[in-house]
């Protein structure tokens, strides 16, 4: 496939771009369904999508939960009850073409725009995000410092877009010529410079007063160094290592959930 990609890079650029704009939909666990069914639900029209929204609790302090790429609101099912126990109101959503939201081609940039719209709509005091959701949360808030927020928790935080594209190419076994042309396509379609889309540059521009970044040292999906890079360039951020959870189980680990809640209630 590597040889064919070298000979016909345009074909593989189209395939890689399709991979980036067509998120897979994964089965929701029974426990996640149970928690989601306890929420007050509504849909929001956004860029041709019907976005599924979830709300729990009536506390005066609210938290917006931002799931990762190919995730859904149910990923936070274990975090919602302890937040409610501390009298928070909680808001979550399924991103465009994710979870119970309507399906269609989307992009990380559209996801980020949705996060901005939801912050404007619900005016949460705090944000908690996972994986790519951390990119959307911090680029959104860094691009809009007028959005007044207090605390942020990033449960694994990617950093540079170029690194992510190179990782996808490596995963698909594609040569660098495909990466180069894919970057050119993304830059042309979205009017951006890929090398300037770095979370570490956006996070310090946000209005967050305190931030906590948590990452498992043996995360096989996203290297722990990415969160460390962001934290080292962000004066209000604290980085803490997590052990024996991996990239996904970290959201279901009691010690991690306790740390998130204690940070938000401190």
- In the chain the domains, ranked by start, together with CATH numbers, are 2-265 (3.40.50.1820)
Least confident range from 8-22, 76-90, 121-135: namely: 8-22
B/e letters for 129-151, b = 16+ CB within 10 Å, e = fewer, are: bbbbbbbbbbbbbbebeebebeb
Residue 2 has pLDDT above 60, yes or no: no
Q: How confident is the model at residue 3 (pLDDT cuts 50, 70, 90)?
A: low
How many percent of the chain have pLDDT more than 70?
97
Of residues 100 and 8, more confidently modeled: 100
Q: What is the model's pLDDT at position 1?
A: 60
Mean pLDDT of 257-261: 98
Q: How confident is the model at residue 173 (pLDDT cuts 50, 70, 90)?
A: confident
Task: Provide the greatest CA pair distance for the chain.
Answer: 59
pTM assigned to the model: 0.94
224, 52 Cβ separation under 8 angstroms: no
| Mean pLDDT, all residues of the chain | 94
Task: Select the highest-mean-pLDDT range: 3-7, 14-18, 159-163, 261-265.
Answer: 261-265
Q: What is the model's pLDDT at position 5?
A: 64
Residue 117 has pLDDT above 60, yes or no: yes
Of residues 29 and 172, more confidently modeled: 29
Angle between helix 161-172 and 176-190 (nearest 10): 130
Of residues 245 and 168, more confidently modeled: 245
Residue 75 has pLDDT above 80, yes or no: yes
B/e letters for 66-99, b = 16+ CB within 10 Å, e = fewer, are: bbbbbbbbbbbbbbbebbbeeebbbbbbbbbbbb
Q: How confident is the model at residue 4 (pLDDT cuts 50, 70, 90)?
A: low
Q: What is the model's pLDDT at position 261?
A: 98
Mean pLDDT of 240-255: 97
């Amino acid at each position: 496939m590597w040889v064919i990609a070298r000979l016909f890079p345009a074909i593989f650029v189209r395939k890689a771009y399709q991979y980036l704009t067509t998120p897979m939909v994964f089965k929701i666990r029974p426990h996640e369904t149970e928690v989601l069914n306890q929420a007050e639900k509504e849909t929001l029209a956004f860029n041709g999508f019907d976005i599924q929204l979830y709300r729990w609790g009536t506390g005066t302090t609210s938290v917006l939960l931002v799931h990762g790429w190919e995730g859904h609101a149910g990923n936070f099912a274990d975090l919602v009850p302890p937040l409610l126990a501390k009298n928070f109101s909680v808001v979550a959503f399924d991103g465009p073409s994710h979870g119970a939201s309507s399906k269609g081609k989307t992009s990380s940039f559209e996801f980020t725009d949705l996060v901005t719209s939801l912050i404007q709509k619900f005016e949460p005091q705090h944000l908690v995000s996972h994986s790519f959701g951390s990119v959307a949360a911090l680029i959104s808030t860094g691009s809009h410092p007028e959005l007044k927020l207090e605390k942020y928790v990033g449960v694994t935080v990617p950093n540079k877009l170029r690194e992510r594209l190179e990782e996808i190419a490596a995963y698909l076994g594609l040569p660098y010529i495909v990466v180069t042309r894919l970057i050119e396509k993304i830059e042309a379609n979205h009017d951006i410079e890929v090398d300037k889309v770095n979370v570490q540059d956006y996070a310090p521009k946000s209005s967050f007063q305190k931030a906590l970044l948590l990452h498992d040292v043996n995360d096989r999906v996203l290297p722990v160094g990415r969160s460390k890079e962001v934290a080292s360039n962000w004066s209000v951020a604290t980085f803490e290592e997590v052990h024996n959870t991996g990239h996904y189980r970290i959201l279901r680990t009691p010690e991690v959930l306790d740390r998130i809640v204690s940070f938000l209630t401190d």
